[in-house]
Amino acid sequence: MANGSMTTRESADAKIIDVNEDLGSYAAADLRKTIDTLIDGASQKIIVNLSEVQHINSTAIGAMVGSAKRLRTNGGDLKVYGLAANLKRTFDLVGASSVLEIYDSESSALAAF
Amino acid sequence: MTQTKKTKQEILKLSVPSCLKYIRPIQMFIGQLAQQLGFCRTRIYDIELIIDEVCSNAIEHGSETPDSGIDLTLTFDSSRLEIHVRDKGKSVRKNWLATGRLDEVSQKMTPDSERGHGIFLAEKLSDSLEILTNPLGGTDVQVIFYFSTSSGS
């Protein structure tokens, strides 16, 4: 499934969103829509691949935090991987590193479910 | 005798429609300017992030319609880059970041809050952040980046 510069694929029983554009305010809405579509389709395990993302803003991070909270109420979760140093710093500054599970690789994110 | 070199202050003004799709081009333009001025890569990242956060707030909270528009003024010389973003406010909520509102947002904010982090990122990553109400009923946000700070220039 593709939504703008985001594609969704399946690995094991998780859905993986590959983000292929920077996540500013405009693209953050696409990310939220993509995640919402997966959750509405009963997906419980979602992984967001940020390895191609150079910039992220607080709206995009907030969308992932909100979705993780929503999934956790039903036993699911949203995990992220592939953060460049600048992105990790932004996650740390808004406190999202303490809320979201962040991994170095897709395999480690998958193994954590 | 030490002679201080005087550098000319330059000013650039941009007026753009209140549409989120224009933020990335604005970010890229200001990022290029910051690079030309000599800021390091990390600092340029911070400047671009702050532009995103401040402009998206001005569009979402301080613009009635796309035609309302936001105004950016960039002032720079050899010591600093100053970025001023002005919105015109909404009729239902004038001065969305008026005095006291920032404290209100701050008190409600936690790491798992979905919104409200943008202005605090701007405060943390800039050398100076000032929020003022303007005569149009909107909000002015001014951020300053100095060269040769602890973050590196």
pLDDT of residue B152: 47
Q: List the CATH number of the domain containing B74.
A: 3.30.565.10
In a domain, B44, yes or no: yes
Phi and psi at B131, nearest 5°, equal -120, 125
In a domain, B72, yes or no: yes
Question: How would residue A49 be classed by pLDDT, with cut points 50, 70 and 90?
Answer: very high
Q: pLDDT at residue A84 above 90?
A: yes
Residue with tokens 């094991």: A12
Q: Does the beta carbon of A12 lie under 8 angstroms from any beta carbon of chain B? A: no
d(CA B79, CA B38): 11
The answer to whether the CB atoms of B121 and A24 lie below 8 A apart is no
Residue with tokens 């303007």: B134
Q: Does the beta carbon of A44 lie under 8 angstroms from any beta carbon of chain B? A: no
Half-sphere exposure of residue B135: CA atoms within 13 angstroms, side-chain side: 0
In a domain, B38, yes or no: yes
pLDDT of residue B9: 93
The answer to whether the CB atoms of B112 and A22 lie below 8 A apart is no
All residues of chain A having their beta carbon less than 8 Å from the beta carbon of residue B53 are 57-58
Domain count, chain B: 1
**Ordered structural domains, chain A, with CATH:** 2-111 (3.30.750.24)
Who has greater pLDDT, B117 or A105?
A105
In a domain, B25, yes or no: yes
- Non-local (6+) Cβ contacts of B98 within 8 A are B133, B139
Dihedral (Cα; B114, B119, B123, B125), 10-degree rounding: 70
d(CA A57, CA A50): 13
Which token pair is A20?
Answer: 């292929």
d(CA B137, CA A32): 31
Q: pLDDT at residue B151 above 60?
A: no
All residues of chain B having their beta carbon less than 8 Å from the beta carbon of residue A66 are 114
Give the pLDDT mean for B86-107.
69
pLDDT of residue B137: 87
Residue with tokens 């035609």: B67
In a domain, B11, yes or no: no
In a domain, B130, yes or no: yes
| Domain containing residue B32 | 21-109+116-146
In a domain, B10, yes or no: no
In a domain, B135, yes or no: yes
Q: B1-55: per-residue pLDDT in tens? A: 545 555 789 999 999 999 999 999 999 999 999 999 999 999 999 999 999 999 9
Burial of A58 (0-12, 13-18, 19+ CB in 10 A): buried
Residues B146, B138 contacting (CB under 8 angstroms): no
Q: pLDDT at residue B126 above 50?
A: yes
Which token pair is B39?
Answer: 């800021």
Which token pair is B128?
Answer: 């100076």
Q: A19-48: per-residue pLDDT in tens? A: 999 998 889 999 999 999 999 998 999 999
ipTM confidence score: 0.85
Closest B-chain CA to A68: B112
| Tally of CB atoms within 10 A around A13 | 10
Phi and psi at B78, nearest 5°, equal -75, -10
In angstroms, the separation between the Cα of residue B1 and the nearest Cα of chain A is 43
In angstroms, the separation between the Cα of residue A46 and the nearest Cα of chain B is 18
Q: A53-81: per-residue pLDDT in tens? A: 999 999 999 999 999 999 999 899 999 99
Q: B60-92: per-residue pLDDT in tens? A: 989 999 999 999 999 999 899 999 999 998 866
